[in-house]
Amino acid sequence: MKYYLKLGFILFVFCAIASGILAYINTLTAPVIAERKAREEEETRNSLIPNADFEQKVTDQGMIYYVAKDPAKDELLGYTFIAADVGYSSTVQTMVGVDPEFEVLGIQVVDQAETPGLGANCTSPSFASQFSGMSINDLYVDKDGGEVASLSGATITSRCITNSLRESILDVQDEDQIGGEQ
Amino acid sequence: MGYLGEIFVMAMTAIFIQNFVLSRFLGLCPYLGVSKKLDSALGMGMAVIFVMTLASAITFLINNYLLIPYSLGYLQTIAFILTIAALVQFVEMVIQKNAPALYKSLGVYLPLITTNCAVLGVAILNTTALRSDGVTEYNFLDSLLNGFFSGVGFTVVLLAMAGLRMRLDMAELPKSMKGMPIALILAGIMALSFYGFMGFQI
Amino acid sequence: MTFIKELTKGLIKDNPIFVLVLGLCPTLAVTTSVINALGMGSAATFVLLCSNIIISMIKGITPSKIRIPVYIVVIASFVTIVDMVMAAYLPDLHKSLGLFIPLIVVNCIILGRAEAFASKNNVIMSIADAIGMGLGFTLSLTLIATFREILGAGTWLGMRVTPMSYDPMLIAILAPGAFITLGFLMALMNMIKEKK
């Protein structure tokens, strides 16, 4: 019995040392990771709606969105938020910027793990740029009678991005109208 | 869609659409190592289903009641692998004591499972997996079921592979193709056929 | 002399992938591009080197009954360190390797070398063994990735190497292509060995 206690103790000491070292390294790397993530998000926001001040808001459903205002004239420039939906083999997250009339200013896919060479092409500028200027009614892929030209061989990814954009724009629009009535 | 529908989607996804072996590349060592005979493949498959289900359940509890509340996320890998190693040892001891017949058929495969990346893989994937609506995170039962179905998915392709390789033994092959090379090419063709399932929207 | 022998055996004679057939999961999963293969290879080599050093140092004080759990703790710690450092400084690579970084823990090569070599040899030999095996692993990954990236994307390390008229065979970078490429490469190795 004593022998087994000794074994357990040795194992415990190893685990404790390992956890201590990991905790120390975590304190070094965690801020770097968090800071880079925040900076990347901010850069994406700024590229979608340039020269704006962003204010974070949360809808009733818990969706986070940002209101963009012109810092000089205090004029509403639009909104940015992240739309997400399940695509072909992963959850695709797209950050989108819309103007006050809810027409798309631009989109950028921020997270995806779709098929390389097919669905993963959704990050290419040629696919993303076509969304600019579209209104909610245009946001269907061509196969569903809309304006969005699907990526070749990746209709599911294209449809997932398009639908997630449309639904989240509607969510923010609803929220905005409730806010307007108050 | 009710919860039964959710379970059906999860089962189809784990077994066919995102098969652990053929599209996620997890658990390849036993897939190629233990697929020479049908009965040993069956034994391995059963042991994997058993351990994966248990491991999914226990790592879920550890992750949600220990690691997340105390923000120890960085200890995830080390905690999960130790849990799995301990679990495998424990299961081995229990089976050996209480079910000698079962131990005889499963026993030799159990130690191999600790280093089967499918088990650690399912535990890690469960922590970030989402239900088919793309928002809800897995609860305890979801994780447990996902572990079970992933194990079933592993066993299905392992058995198919074993059946095919037994036939292959009789085929005349160039000498350099024999053994591992032809098994890999066979696995490739199998993966190709499983691609037919991918992208199904249930 | 033996140092050199331990160093070079991992390259050809005991090549971890083509001869020992260990660590197949990362081999097949991350070889979609050369850069991923190099990233995975160096991550695994780093873990292998550090764990071999530590394990050969502590081999005197670990009772043999609990040696496997102790090895796992050592390996898992280094894997977590690699994971955190990569997430902080090489985010793109971290993302494309994804799940397979924590899974280095269960890479049979690393635990296998710990058990078969580092627990029986001194630190210097264990370093040679780790570097040799790590290089063998990295080179094999790069070789497979070279075939897959050129055939499947027409590029090598991101640079276009095929004429514009070549339409990439997507299958090579998808899952089935991984199995088939490795299968043919292994057959080729066998053929070369027979000729000798």
- DSSP one-letter string for B156-188: HHHHHHHHHHHHHTTS---GGGTTHHHHHHHHH
Name the residue of chain C whose CA is nearest to B112's CA.
C108
DSSP state, A141? B
Q: How far apart, in whole angstroms, are the C-alpha atoms of residue C112 and residue C23?
A: 10
Q: Are residues A29 and A55 in the same domain?
A: no
**Quick one: pLDDT at residue C1?**
55
* Spatial CA neighbour of B147 closest among B121, B114, B128: B121
Contact assignment for C66 to A10 by CB distance below 8 Å = yes
Task: Quote the tokens at residue A179.
Answer: 């806010």
Same domain for A89 and A1: no
Distance (Å, rounded) from C-alpha A57 to C-alpha A63?
A: 8
Residues 6+ apart with CB under 8 A from C35: C93, C157, C158
Among the listed residues C77, C99, C150, the one whose alpha carbon sits nearest the alpha carbon of residue A14: C77
Taking CB atoms within 8 Å and a gap of at least 24, the contacts of A32-40 are A32/C88, A32/C89, A33/C84, A33/C87, A33/C88, A33/C91, A36/C88, A36/C91, A40/A110
Instruction: Tell me, yes or no, whether A13 and A94 share the same domain.
Output: no
Same domain, residue pair A99 and A158: yes
A142: left (phi over 0), alpha (psi -120 to 50) or beta: alpha
* Residue among B27, B77, B192 minimizing CB distance to C105: B77
Q: How far apart are CA B84 and CA B136, in angstroms?
A: 26
- Residue ranges of domains in chain B: 26-195
| The pLDDT of residue A181 | 41
Do A65 and A11 fall within a single domain? Answer: no
Residues 6 or more apart in contact with residue C188 via CB below 8 angstroms: B176
| Distances in whole angstroms, Cα of residue A149 to Cα of each of A103, A120, A140, B31, C150 | 17, 15, 9, 41, 28
Residue in chain B nearest C22 by alpha carbon: B29
pLDDT band at B58 (very low <50, low <70, confident <90, very high): very high
Chain B residue with CA closest to A89: the answer is: B199
* Same-domain check for residues A65 and A19: no
For CA atoms C96, C102, C108, C110, the dihedral sign is positive
Tokens of A131: 């969304």
The number of beta carbons lying within 10 Å of the beta carbon of residue B18 is 18
What confidence score (pLDDT) does residue B202 get? 52
Q: Which of B28, B85, B177 sits opposite C25 (nearest CB)?
A: B28
Q: Under the phi-then-psi rule, with left for phi > 0, alpha for psi from -120 to 50, and beta for the rest, what region is B144?
A: alpha
Other Cβ atoms closer than 10 A to C195: 7
User: Tens of pLDDT along B118-170?
Assistant: 899 999 988 887 776 666 788 899 999 999 999 999 999 999 999 999 888 88
For residue B176, what are the CA distances in angstroms to B81, C176, C183? 37, 21, 11
| C87 interfacial to chain B (CB closer than 8 Å) | no
Instruction: Kindly tell me if the per-residue pLDDT of B53 is higher than 90.
Output: yes
Q: Report yes or no: C21 at the A interface, CB cutoff 8 Å.
A: no
Q: 10 Å Cβ neighbour count for A170?
A: 13
> What range does the domain containing A33 cover?
1-48
Kindly state whether residues A44 and A60 are assigned to the same domain.
no
Residues 6 or more apart in contact with residue C53 via CB below 8 angstroms:
C118, C123, C126, C127, C130
Q: CA–CA separation, A172 vs A178, rounded Å?
A: 10
Closest residue of chain B to C180, computed from CA coordinates: B185
SS3 percent helix, strand, coil of chain B, rounded to 5, is 75, 0, 25
The reply to whether A66 and A130 lie within a common domain is: yes
The answer to whether A157 contacts chain B (CB < 8 Å) is no
C110, C142, C131: which is closest to C40 by C-alpha? C142
Q: A10: helix, coil or strand?
A: helix
Please provide residue A146's backbone torsions phi and psi, each rounded to the nearest 5 degrees.
Answer: -110, -160
Apex C187 CA angle, C183 and C191, nearest 5:
170
Residue of A nearest to B128 (CA): A91
The Cα of A146 is separated from the nearest Cα of chain C by a number of Å equal to 28
This prediction has a pTM of 0.85
Pair C148, C181: CB distance under 8 Å = yes
Q: Kindly report the backbone phi and psi dihedral angles of residue B117, in degrees, each rounded to the nearest multiple of 5, phi listed first.
A: -70, -15
DSSP letters along A39-98, please? HHHHHHHHHHS-S-EEEEEE-TTS-EEEEEEETTTTEEEEEEEEEEEE-SSSEEEEEEEE
Least confident window among A138-152, B2-16, B94-108, B143-157:
B94-108
pLDDT tens string B30-43: 888 888 888 888 88
- How does pLDDT run along chain C (196 residues), one tens digit per residue? 577 887 888 777 778 888 778 788 888 888 888 999 999 999 999 999 999 999 999 988 888 878 888 898 999 999 999 999 999 999 888 888 888 898 888 888 888 888 888 888 889 999 999 999 999 999 999 999 999 999 988 888 888 888 888 888 888 888 889 999 999 999 998 888 888 7
C-beta of residue B50 within 8 angstroms of C-beta of residue B91: yes
* Rg for chain A, CA atoms, rounded: 22
- Do C116 and C150 contact (CB within 8 A), yes or no? no
In this structure, the answer to whether residues A88 and A165 fall within a common structural domain is: yes
Q: Say which of B74, B75, B132 has its CB closest to residue A86.
A: B132
Nearest to C95 by CA among C103, C107, C87: C87
What are B79-92's pLDDT values in tens digits?
A: 999 899 888 888 88
**C74 contacts in A (CB within 8 Å)?**
14, 18
Which residues of chain A, if any, have pLDDT below 50? 180-182
Report pLDDT for A179.
55
Total domains in chain A come to 2
Whether the CB of C190 is below 8 Å from some CB of chain B: the reply is yes
Backbone angles phi, psi at C154, to 5 degrees: 75, 15
CB A75 within 8 A of CB A51: no
Contacts C66 to A, Cβ<8 Å: 7, 10-11
Separation of alpha carbons C105 and A63, rounded Å: 36
Q: Which of C31, C54, C66 to mutate to test the interface with A (most CBs of A within 10 A)?
A: C66
